[in-house]
Amino acid sequence: MNVFRLVADLMHLASILILLLKIRKTRSAAGISFKSQLLYLIVFVTRYLDLFTHWVSLYNTAMKVFFIASSGYIVYQMQRRYRATWDPALDTFRIEFLLGGAAVMSLIFHTKFTFLELFWTYSIWLEAVAILPQLFQMSRTGEAETITAHYLFALGAYRGLYVVNWIYRYATEGYWEWIPFLAGMVQTVLYADFFYVYFSRVMRGKKFELP
Amino acid sequence: ASTQVWHDEL
């Protein structure tokens, strides 16, 4: 564990707590892409299948359980209690391409052709693009609530900091895995426009609005 | 030896 990874994990934790707070406080899931939330649920379920086969640490297990449980809870609540608060007509990104593309990528690019490893690799490729429906929805509406922008910033910073962690781990331990590194880079590049608007507007107290 | 790749990250 190093400081980049710890802060990354805490940012990820914070992002979910901010999202839960947003939904509870505004009593609405407006502005949140259900499709992105569904993709994150698939990401965590497929990645943490090793929960039952590999023990790393209490920290590792607790975080995995939290990420699966919270993403499941959000998907469930968006379908139930908050169903009427968000508009599916705005959430029109075709996730079939993301689900299929990640499957193809994991079948071509993986380190071992085993059940667990293929699902783990699938989750890595899928996570890289899981934010696209959310970003697509925001580009259509042209704006976001400030709390939603904070949620997205924390979520984007998490994978961005993981990229820094991988460079640090390579330099200090010689540990290197190019698949998550590449996927983390792709995700960070997809976030570039969002980060720009976040730093230039939201951090200065203005509303998140696309030019 | 395990044929599984070890992942210690989240």
Average pLDDT, chain A: 97
Distance from the Cα of A58 to chain B's closest Cα (Å) equals 12
CA distance A104 to A125: 10
- The whole-number pLDDT of residue A92 equals 97
Strand partners, A209: A143
Whether A114 and B4 lie within 8 Å, measured CB to CB: yes
pLDDT in tens, chain B (10 residues): 445 568 999 9
**B-interface mutation test, from A56, A57, A64, A67, most B Cβ less than 10 A away:** A56
At A67, the amino acid letter reads: F
Whether A112 and B3 lie within 8 Å, measured CB to CB: yes
Tell me the percentage of chain A whose pLDDT exceeds 90: 99
Nearest to A190 by CA among A55, A75, A36, A54: A36
- The whole-number pLDDT of residue B1 equals 42
- The whole-number pLDDT of residue A35 equals 98
Tens digit of pLDDT for each residue in A164-209? Answer: 999 999 999 999 999 999 999 999 999 999 999 999 999 999 999 9
Give the residue carrying structure tokens 């570039």. Answer: A192
Q: ipTM exceeding 0.90?
A: no
Angle, nearest 10°, between helix axes A34-47 and A95-108?
20
Whether A114 and B10 lie within 8 Å, measured CB to CB: no
Chain B hits for A111, CB-CB cut-off 8 Å, are: 5
The two beta strands, A143-144 and A208-209, are antiparallel
Of A5, A116, A180, the CB nearest to B4: A116
Tens digit of pLDDT for each residue in A119-173? Answer: 999 999 999 999 999 999 999 999 999 999 999 999 999 999 999 999 999 999 9
